[in-house]
Structure 1
Amino acid sequence: MLTDLVSMRSQLAAGQSSAAAELERCIAAAASPACAHVFRQTCLDEARAAAAAPGVQLLPLAGLAVSVKDLFDIKGLPTAAGSSVLAGAAPATADCSAVARLRRSGGAILGHSQMVEFAFSGVGVNPHFGTPAAHDARFGALTGPARVPGGSSSGAGVSVAAGAAFVGLGSDTGGSIRIPAALNGVVGFKNTARLVPTDGAVPLSTTLDTACAITRSVRDAIVVHEILAARRVTRSPAPLPAWRLAVPSTLFLDSLDATVAAAFERSLDQLRRAGAQITEIALPQTGELAEVNATGGFSAAESHAWHRPLLQQHAASYDPRVRARIERGATMSACDYINLQHARRAWIARMEAAVAGFDALLSPTVPIVAPTIASVAPGSERDAEFFRVNALLLRNTSVVNMLDGCALSLPCHQAGELPVGLMVWHAALRDDAVLNIGLLIEQELQKQ
């Protein structure tokens, strides 16, 4: 298992290593076969300077390596959002807010990590620049055929899981942090969207986009969230039995594959033995989302508004699977869009009322383990399988985005199993409870 950020900071403070030495280890990992296609472009000289800066080990990130999804501006690098359409963009003149906060906190920015073109898929495939293969941070490299890393923050997930970064900055619009976290055996925290600025990032959905990160542990997730949100997480001394937890059955437990079902049930059993209060609830409101989004949803409409000028000139250069989803937004009328906003607000109110009696909800992060890259690789003959997999991967996580909520994915699989994520989640601004509960769950599941 990889050393997490908090433990490494302790080692640096004790003089057992240095930020510069740890950065070189991460750079070597980034150049290894495990990280093939993980980085789009790097700024290693700047990263080395950050790691060598006087007093850096006293900062929260202590000069340790950070990868940045290719939709966030890094000063001096072009932001391509995983697309050949923007590959010739001029270098950014300033860091976006999220990158600036990480840099000021001692993060050594390695460069841009790979992503799905324009962040529009949960699978992680990129036909322009290559697809990273999933890695298991808990038990090492996966054997057998290469598997999808999850998206859209594909490079962020693999960079952390394969040891190239301690933090992977990414975005989450429908699950794009939590899906790669689940498929790579790492931790992904999607905060309440309004808590972290998204300026200087190529948008997918201005309503749903969230700037957040992948880390090696829940305690690392707390450190990084405090940096990105410029706020302190209120820590709770309450033990696991003091929290009221619920497992919703509607939608979230449908069509689980055998590995995910076994890992999730085993985890619930272990938490119950540790005294956790877990109540199974129906939560039928989640079954209403298909009707709410019937006209296309926010991502289609809002992405089309941003992409329309580019599509007029460069449509043929888009990944056809991405272009088709963006172009669906052209059919949504202003009336449809306004009605969607009203429907979402009403649905959120019903959901918040239904879960008000619980401190957090528990679900599988995604219902399936990572499929092989070959099964969903670019090609019209595989489109049906790609869209089937994409819908499954996004199904559970996207509920939280529509709820305007917060969620944490942490690994719950054992050695010999493909990575599986357990999602701890709730409504808006319940971030601190989710993180405190996630910390307790992680400590318990690590006893497996």
Structure 2
Amino acid sequence: MEGGWPARGGVLLCLTVSLLLQGRGDAFTINCSGFDQHGVDPAAFQAVFDRKAFRPFTNYSIPTRVNISFTLSAILGVDAQLQLLTSFLWIDLVWDNPFINWNPKECVGINKLTVLAENLWLPDIFIVESMDVDQTPSGLTAYISSEGRIKYDKPMRVTSICNLDIFYFPFDQQNCTFTFSSFLYTVDGMLLGMDKEVWEITDTSRNVIRTQGEWELLGINKATPKMSVGNNLYDQITFYVAIRRRPSLYIINLLVPSSFLVAIDALSFYLPAESENRAPFKITLLLGYNVFLLMMNDLLPASGTPLISVYFALCLSLMVVSLLETVFITHLLHVATTQPPPMPRWLHSLLLHCTGPGRCCPTAPHKGNKGLGLTPTHLPGPKEPGELAGKKLGPGETELDGGSGWTKAQLVELWVQFSHVMDTLLFRLYLLFMASSIITVIVLWNT
């Protein structure tokens, strides 16, 4: 009796295995009796529907391979302050279910069916950078082929983290990522692959993209890193989406008006230095530029320090320096015409050197004389102080410095001429600094 129990147990085990092996072919083949010209009987797929809670496999050690592709159909917005990209994706998932199989010739020629996705096992693929709840609509269907290949497409509005670099705004390019991964299955249970080539994804996205707003798609690349969490290793596919901002809106509304105001401020140097209108004109321009910045502040990024902000600060600084130069020249002219101090010999020599023909700062003395009522004969020119000392003074002229021999009218003319020279010199320095600064900003934008 003791030797008979193992023999009886072996017979029962063999009988059970043989029954399972006999039913294996039927278990993986859909019964075509449920197929007709009017549709498919749900009972034919009931065995598959009952298994939707479990990953479909015939060998536990073989992972399920899920192929992924997507189509970027819209770029809805970029939030530079929160570092978020909002886009609309059509995600395509393709995998094989070994429990689905039928012979199209025996099943009235049906090669493909559509089934409610909620009745099938679906891979738990998610986007790692997503910062919003999955808003996939319900009631979606999946395509099932006679070989058991399932194709599941779902639309998603994705709000994802994107490391935005706004330094080159509005000529900036951003590189955002979409990382697809599973949060449940490791590489032992699921592997990820590509359903389309990257160039196909890029071309399709460019053709179907609906938005023609602020951003345009440049290209898409991919990488296949692995994510390690503790002792578990997860498969991933990372897509790098390069987008570029269309700068025309900001060029027209920001750069062009700012350039016009700076150009007008530079041209205001051609107003006569003796005129009382130059300083008020520059103050009006400065106030107008501040109002312009306040009105256009909403178009600038709310965070960070873009290069355009540096450009605006530079333009504002140039206007302030221009105003300070006008105040300095106005004060110098006021002192020269009211109580001119004696002019040092070195300054007089430098003035003669600079106002000579072909020198660095030529000036037109008659322009200043016209406002002062002086004639060119009052100019000391190249005369030496000793020569001027022997000249007989008129009744209205008083000698300010007994050692210099210069009259008050001559000192006034010298200081006025010096003021014009300083005005010309500072104007050229202003133009040089403005040109070099703008060229530097343009070079940085181009790089």
TM bucket (normalised to shorter chain) is under 0.3
TM-score (norm 2): 0.16
As a proportion of its length, which structure holds more strand? 2
TM-score (norm 1): 0.16
Which structure: larger Rg?
Answer: 2
Higher relative contact order (CA 8 A, sep 6+): 1
